[in-house]
Structure 1
Amino acid sequence: MSRDPKHDKALDAGDELNIPALEVSDLRRSLRSLMKPAITVDIDTPVHDAVHMMQTKRIGCVLVTSHRKLLGIFTERDVLKKIQGSAFDLRATPITEVMTINPQALNEDDTIAYALNFMDLGGYRHIPLVNDLFEPVGLVSVKDIVSYLVQHFADEVLNLPPHPMTVQEEDIPIPDDGLAEPEDTE
């Protein structure tokens, strides 16, 4: 596969524009710098209320607590996998029936690099951040991390066209299965 000189030129543009390059130290920053406030619901919260909260606050998950301790996480994936198309009465079903129990959590002092690896290995999009008493203190999403990393790239890099080897729809051969309409012979 050959390299496209336009891509190399765009990558070099960051140097010319004095955009800070991503360094290892940037990945060693603590999650505290990226975390957002933890949005929590109690274990008795009906699914309907949790979904409504996620919609109105435009968030991808809520953390489920009891006596301020993290017991679960309820995410958009849970809505799609466990609720969509089911016969649940969302106003009567407690969040505990559909949440992910005992979610993996990190500490706000853990590093961005550690969180990236943790999320990749576990397939997580959201990671609760807890204190030593396992009380939620914040939340970090993969979007938060990507938004942080993007700051280290020039606009020229971020706006590169799709990979030059990408196949366009019109380039895909369509096999003749005999079902094509006959050509007009007039």
Structure 2
Amino acid sequence: MLIEDWMAKNVLTVDENTSLMRATRIMKENAIRRLPVVSHGKLIGIVTDRDVKDASPSKTATLDIHELYYLLSEMKVKDVMTASPLTLRGKDSLELAAVIMLEDKISGLPVVDDTGHLVGLLSETDVLRAFVRSTGIKDGARRYTFDLPDSPGSVTRVVETLRRFEARVISVLTSFEDAPEGMKRVSIRVTVADQAVGEELDRELLANFTVVDMGIDDVKNRPRK
């Protein structure tokens, strides 16, 4: 998956001389947590709600409300922004972005072209949205998780069984971290013609493979805050 297919493209921006008060208002009114800072279309920095919070006087400060507003109106984005932030290209993979976000504890990454011009912004929400879409969980797909031998052809046997039942494969994910030694853990989501076919497929897979888990996630009745 490519970043350019999942990033936000119509991105709100500010310039380095924008007041911190205005930047704060833009983020609050648009329910966003970061603003790229540009100069003539080129990315020069990024300012986040955390930057604003860190720059604001603490609750124990003796400033009154008017002094506080004056201070924020005088401070500029350039005073608190992260200059020359880490960036990615639209043709970079979404998986690479996810690794960077996870390991560097970054919740959003600006996306630029080869000339340094801002073309988008990728957030952790965009990455999660791509993951959800690619797994097929919202399509009512059946979920099967197997422990299979770590050898050529082991997944093919499962796929051949699915084909006999005319199951449509939506996604396949493989991991070695949670599998027993010499095995790999494979999660496959499929759709089938109807409930009866699904139940027959369940029985066939249980009889011939090590099925760790199976089911259909009830997205409609998921827990809500």
Normalised to the residue count of structure 1, the TM-score between the two structures is 0.65
Mind listing any 5+ residue stretches in structure 1 that lack a counterpart?
1-28, 162-186
**Residue correspondence of structure 1 range 70-85 to structure 2 within 5 A:** 70-83=43-56, 85=58
Question: 2:22, 2:57 → 1: CA distance?
Answer: 16
Name the counterpart of 1:7.
none
Mind listing any 5+ residue stretches in structure 2 that lack a counterpart?
141-216
Q: Deviations over 1:96-138 (max 9, x none)?
A: 1111111100001111101001111221101000011111110
Q: Deviations over 1:36-93 (max 9, x none)?
A: 1222101110001111111111111110112222111111221233325277611111
SS of the counterpart of 1:107?
coil
Whether the 8 Å CA contact 2:107–2:123 is kept in 1: the answer is yes
Larger strand percent: 2
**Identical counterparts, % of pairs:** 29
Question: 2:86, 2:16 → 1: CA distance?
Answer: 18
Name the counterpart of 1:34.
6
The aligned amino acid for 2:121 is L
Q: CA RMSD in A?
A: 2.1
Question: 2:85, 2:113 → 1: CA distance?
Answer: 14
Whether the 8 Å CA contact 2:112–2:118 is kept in 1: the answer is yes
Question: 1:59, 1:100 → 2: CA distance?
Answer: 17
2:23 counterpart of 1:50? yes
The aligned amino acid for 1:73 is I
Question: 1:107, 1:125 → 2: CA distance?
Answer: 16
SS of the counterpart of 2:114?
coil
Aligned length: 133
Aligned equivalent of 1:145, options 101, 123, 127:
127
The aligned amino acid for 1:116 is A
Higher relative contact order (CA 8 A, sep 6+): 1
Whether the 8 Å CA contact 2:20–2:52 is kept in 1: the answer is no
Name the counterpart of 1:116.
98
Name the counterpart of 1:134.
116
Normalised to the residue count of structure 2, the TM-score between the two structures is 0.54
